[in-house]
């Protein structure tokens, strides 16, 4: 949530490159946007409530020259989205400009103290205390760098901060609990919340650690601790192509990313699973890597939580005790955590604040930790004992699609590796599952080519509510289908374990509440019984099932068909149909699909 960018170089192209960076970061927040440009004098600030297009309109008149600048796209936490609350924020003199991602937890106290000393505030944000604190340090004779370091020491909370001042030609930045990466190129440097911000300009990046302070000038940079001790951070080359983060001719990022799933799944599976021999080869986890594990706990949020539920089901079915926790609730969980516990943090970005907090609790309890993430160099990947990368490629749409599919497949492989290490050799069941995974990318492509989801979305666009049900490994798919539907269509949708429909939710069922029921070939008789209960109350039934499932078809008004496959793999196929359903429903309603209201891609505050 919120995206920051800074650019410094020898030429005067800061504005254009900052705007490009902000557009690439808009998935992190789109309530308001702003830039501060420095050319000779003090920082010149331009900011507007709303999308970045409004800021571009402002800059279209007189674009300021300058090689140094900072920018920000906001997801509101303190104060509504207004011009005044947009970043960058400045001090009383206008000499200091700051952008910030995160939350300053002690800002009320700091703001009261500053106001008592005569400082005047123009916004409701927590961020604005930062430039005023720097202003005081500068007035005491500190250099900009010293003033910045002293100010950071006074802050509590999570943050990534970038600052420029009138006094010198440099960017000062630091991070604690919020992501920040440094982009390195010939003649220019970048700082940003995420790599896509500057991928158009450089593929060379440095992932900063919590507590790092970086001072970037036109010709060099220096990274140190808050105490000033120099530290070395390695330069990595990002393998994404800038076009990977573009729409590629699709109307929305979400639709593009749904259609990228066959490729993403091939990348996830490449070199890791052999459906012919039944072997699993996870690059950093040879046979025996998990022999000492007695229990597995998954911690995650949102879509990743649903993937974690699937993963726990795989492990439990393989004879390994496993549970899934909402990361935000993990701190109060009574579940045992010790050195024989493996805690798996499932997080697309690797920066989700609640998940990082849960992983840190697990580390403090002596557990082994493992991150399942899409981002090499992310905080989760660096702080955990181990990491398994899902290899889905960049995902820009706020509503996760291809990363969910890649997470589920990655967790399936991880569960297979753990189960074999803990309980013994592969079973015939596991070999069949791996063989089904081999076929999965092609089967997803079949769905994308022939889905009738758009027609069904149109049929039920005026419904009162939408219910999704499933059993076993597709109960989480029902939850995910409902989450996707509600977050981009703004229509009421709920997911239930199929058997729970009659224990309360059935009171809401009417002819205006379609039921989307997922069938996998396992426990289908019971799910069909639940469908009949809803059917008897007049509810329209949409089944997600293989096309040869005749009995299901007899009781369904429509069928979203999926290819025949192993029951444990069917959920991924069913989910693709539900993603398409949600997309087309939202598109028919004219919703801003890639940027649903009140939501952001990466939630970096607890």
Taking the CA atoms of the chain, what radius of gyration do you get in angstroms? 25
Nearest to 539 by CA among 530, 547, 526: 530
Query: Peptide bond before 88: cis, by omega within 30 degrees of 0?
Result: yes
Backbone phi, psi, residue 102, to 5°: 130, -160
- Please check whether residue 193 is in contact with residue 101, taking contact to mean a CB–CB distance below 8 angstroms: yes
d(CA 215, CA 261): 40
Cα dihedral sign for 259, 260, 264, 270?
A: positive
2, 256, 361, 595: which is the annotated catalytic residue? 2
Q: Would you call 601 a catalytic residue per the annotation?
A: yes
Q: Do 560 and 432 contact (CB within 8 A), yes or no?
A: no
| Alpha-carbon span 168 to 96, nearest angstrom | 11
Sheet holding 368-373, edge to edge: 322-326, 295-300, 341-347, 368-373, 386-389
If we measure between CA atoms, which residue out of 480, 481, 488 comes closest to residue 596? 488
Longest dimension (CA), the chain: 81
Q: What angle do the packed helices 261-269 and 428-450 form, to 10 degrees?
A: 160
- 92 labelled catalytic: no
Tokens matching residue 454: 């758009």
Closest CA to 539 of 571, 573, 505: 505
Catalytic residue among 484, 486, 595, 601: 601
Alpha-carbon separation of residue 534 from 69, 465, 522 (angstroms): 59, 14, 20
343 neighbors 362 (Cβ within 8 angstroms): yes
Catalytic positions, written as ranges: 2, 601
């Amino acid at each position: 949530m919120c995206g920051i960018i800074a650019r410094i170089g020898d030429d005067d192209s800061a504005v254009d490159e900052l705007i490009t960076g902000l557009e690439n970061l808009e998935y992190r927040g789109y309530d308001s946007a702003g830039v501060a440009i420095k050319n000779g004098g003090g920082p010149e600030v331009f900011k507007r409530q709303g999308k970045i297009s409004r800021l571009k309109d402002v800059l279209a008149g007189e674009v300021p020259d300058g090689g140094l600048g900072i920018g920000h796209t906001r997801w509101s936490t303190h104060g509504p989205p207004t011009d005044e609350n947009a970043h960058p924020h400045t001090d009383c003199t206008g000499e200091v400009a700051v952008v910030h991602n995160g939350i300053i937890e002690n800002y009320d106290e700091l703001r009261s103290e500053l106001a008592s000393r005569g400082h005047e505030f123009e916004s409701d944000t927590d961020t604005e205390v930062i430039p005023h604190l720097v202003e005081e340090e500068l007035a005491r004779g500190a250099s900009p760098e010293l003033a910045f370091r002293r100010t950071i020491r006074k802050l509590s909370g999570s943050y990534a901060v970038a600052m420029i001042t009138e006094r010198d030609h440099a960017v000062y930045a630091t991070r604690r609990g919020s992501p920040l990466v440094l982009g390195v190129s010939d003649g220019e440097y970048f700082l940003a919340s995420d790599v896509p911000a500057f991928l158009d300009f450089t593929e060379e990046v440095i992932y900063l650690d919590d507590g790092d302070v970086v001072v970037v000038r036109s010709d060099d940079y220096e990274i140190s601790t808050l105490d000033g001790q120099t530290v070395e951070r390695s330069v990595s080359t990002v393998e994404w192509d800038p076009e990977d983060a573009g729409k590629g001719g699709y109307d929305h990022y979400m639709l593009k990313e749904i259609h990228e799933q066959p490729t993403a799944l091939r990348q996830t599976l490449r070199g890791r699973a052999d459906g012919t021999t039944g072997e699993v080869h996870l690059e950093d986890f040879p046979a025996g890597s998990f022999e000492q594990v007695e229990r597995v706990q998954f911690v995650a949020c949102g879509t990743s939580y649903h993937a974690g539920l699937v993963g726990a089901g795989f492990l439990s079915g393989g004879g390994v005790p496993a549970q899934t926790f909402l990361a935000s609730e993990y701190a109060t969980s009574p579940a045992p955590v010790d050195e024989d516990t493996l805690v798996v943090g499932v997080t697309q970005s690797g920066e989700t604040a609640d998940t990082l907090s849960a992983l840190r609790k697990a580390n403090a309890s002596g557990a082994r930790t493992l991150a399942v993430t899409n981002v090499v160099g992310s905080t989760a990947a660096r702080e955990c004992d181990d990491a398994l990368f899902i290899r889905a490629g960049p995902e820009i749409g706020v509503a996760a699609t291809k990363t969910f599919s890649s997470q589920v497949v990655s967790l399936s492989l991880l569960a297979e590796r753990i189960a074999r290490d803990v309980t013994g050799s592969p079973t015939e069941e596991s070999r069949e599952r791996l063989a089904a995974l081999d076929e999965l990318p092609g089967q997803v492509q079949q769905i994308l080519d022939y889905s009738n989801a758009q027609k069904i979305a149109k049929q039920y666009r005026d419904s009162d509510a939408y219910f999704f049900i499933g059993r076993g490994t597709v109960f989480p798919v029902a939850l995910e289908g409902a989450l996707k539907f509600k977050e981009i269509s703004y229509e009421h949708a709920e997911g239930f374990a199929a058997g729970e429909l009659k224990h309360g939710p059935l009171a809401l069922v009417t002819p205006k509440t379609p039921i989307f029921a997922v069938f996998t070939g396992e426990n289908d008789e019971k799910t069909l019984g639940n469908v009949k209960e809803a059917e008897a109350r007049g509810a329209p039934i949409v089944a997600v099932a293989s096309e040869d499932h005749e009995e299901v078809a007899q009781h369904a008004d429509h069928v979203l068909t999926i290819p025949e496959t192993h029951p444990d793999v069917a959920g991924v196929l069913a989910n693709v149909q539900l993603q398409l359903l949600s997309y087309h429903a939202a598109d028919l309603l004219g919703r801003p699909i890639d940027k649903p209201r009140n939501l952001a891609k990466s939630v970096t505050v607890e």
